[in-house]
Amino acid sequence: MNLVRKQRYQLDSDDEALEVFARGEAILNEPLLNKGTAFSLKERNELGLRGLVPPKVTKIEEQVERVLENYRRKTDPLEKFIFLTSLHDRNETLYYRVLMDNLMEMTPIVYTPVVGAACQQFGHIYRKNRGMYLSMEDKGHIREMFDNWKQDEVDIIVISDGSRILGLGDLGANGMGIPIGKLALYVAGGGIFPCKTLPILLDAGTNNQELLDDPLYLGLNQKRGDEDEYYALVDEFVNAVQDKWPKALIQWEDFTNNHAFPLLNKYREKVLCFNDDIQGTGAVALSGLLGGMRMKGEKLADQRIVFYGAGSAAVGIADMIVAGIVEESGMTDAEARKLFWLIDSQGLVVKNGPRALQAHKVPYARDEKLIDNLLDVIKMIKPTILIGVSGQGQAFSKEIIQEMFKYVKQPIIFSLSNPTSKSECTAEQAYKWTKGKAIFASGSPFDPVRLNGKIYVPGQGNNMFIFPGVGLGASLCQASKITDGMFYTAAKALAEMVTEEELALGTVYPDLSKIRKISATIATGICEMAFAAGLAGIEEPPDIHKFVKDKMYQPVYPKYAAADR
């Protein structure tokens, strides 16, 4: 199907009509063009749609009402996910209108925690292709494969190799649910145009035997293999993107530690890219801690911080907090790192442990003896902040939290592993075991907790607070690269948007329903930094914030007119 001005799929309803070459069912089968029963009589006549849709012309508000009625009949979260996916596949504008109007209700379905279950069942619930799959069998052909994609203009690519999906491990090609979900949040939360997004799954095989034995698994039926071949495939992908869509931002998503850091370090200075698990998670966690410091009236430099987990997310968070401490106190990086204790599967990360350390852990290795369990570390360190990024559900036991509570009046407990089943403790446990004194945040959402006549609203350290705004800003100003300073700026901006009323309820993050305002604010800050540093590829507009807001996608049906053939 050919379209005139493809980059302008979505227009204000009062703008000129969009010319289309497609007619009849071809339009109804294209989710970016389909309006269902909202096609006007004029459009139905010109585009060959008469008789193909019911005679009543409806407004999008009526369509939303019909969608919600059917959606809310479903009680199983995975069935709700499938329902929304089907809507996404047939009418993109209506999907985003429904999602944006009901963001608090539907974000946990579209992304964490339900997307985890959807990825586990991906081959069994697969309906229609969305995005592109690049496998080890495609070596030497990726650039020509990109010509198969229907859009000539791409702003944001989210790519995963499926090797570390949330806290669920290696899901191989089933991990495609993550790039699809992340890009849905980019559109709903950050205003990226849906036709300018591209989810990609890099299929290098899977070491998950259960998937390899599943006849409905849709990925390569082979184990992950040679590292040199893997990196060569990634390099071919990056080069092909630079040739086909040189302005596109690449977001690395859910790669294992042994690949996440090398890929980020290899490409971050060469192309516009970032790793959300490392940099985005770090910025969100730092923002939450800044909120916690506001509650306690303390400074980051006065804290003792224990991490349970020492992977890419943990080190990304730690690096961002170090940047915050340096900014706040004037300490050096080395001095700030002395406030951190990381625990991996062997125990406390130390310099002279039983195994050689992975490179990303080395800066945080201690000169102390190995302690092989969290409880003894808590007893020795007496931390003020405990952050869980282990993927080990219920790792923060009552004994551990109450031991911490002995030494700290308001312990900060961030249980950040996803999905909910992998959370180190629940909000209710954290509040109950500290008599309501804990400052708690989690990776997946928990309901408010009533305890001793008071309601506590747990914060959700959702990366959606950060990555849509960062991606929007970097894309709009055509930045040449994304710096750690940009993520630090995003974290501070997010922390400043938490109201005193929200802090009083115990939450360290703003209401997610304000995500569009949050993303516009963060994107403005990213653009300002890029212009100041000479990293922007466009001329600086007179009013950056207005420039950002004016460029954000709105789910409004455009007018159509048949094009001359």
Would you say 293 and 496 are in contact if contact means Cβ atoms under 8 Å apart?
A: no
Would you say 256 and 164 are in contact if contact means Cβ atoms under 8 Å apart?
A: yes
- Report the C-alpha dihedral over residues 43, 47, 50, 53, rounded to 10 degrees: -80
Residue 173, CA atoms < 13 Å, CB-side half-sphere = 25
Would you say 413 and 378 are in contact if contact means Cβ atoms under 8 Å apart?
A: no
Neighbours of 436 (CB within 10 A): 15
Whole-angstrom distance, CA of residue 427 vs CA of residue 257:
28
Write down the catalytic residue from 71, 111, 509, 553.
Answer: 111
DSSP string covering 189-241: HH---GGGEEEEEEE-----HHHHT-TT--S-SS----HHHHHHHHHHHHHHH
- Is 74 known to be catalytic? no
- Is 266 known to be catalytic? no
Would you say 466 and 494 are in contact if contact means Cβ atoms under 8 Å apart?
A: yes
For strand 273-275 and strand 249-252, is the pairing parallel, antiparallel, or unpaired?
Answer: parallel
Whole-angstrom distance, CA of residue 304 vs CA of residue 291:
16
The three-state secondary structure class of 424 is coil
Measured CA to CA in angstroms, residue 228 lies from 137, 224, 225, 518 at distances of 15, 12, 9, 41
Write down the catalytic residue from 80, 95, 96, 182.
Answer: 182
Which residue do the tokens 């990024």 mark? Answer: 389
Which of 472, 518, 526, 471 lies closest to 499 in space, CA to CA?
518
Whole-angstrom distance, CA of residue 185 vs CA of residue 471:
11
Residue type present at position 262: P
Q: Which DSSP symbol is given to 297?
A: T
Residues of 531-544 as b/e, b for ≥16 C-beta within 10 angstroms? beeebbeeeebeeb
Task: Give the bridge partners for 456, in sequence order.
Answer: 449
| Active-site residue list | 111, 182
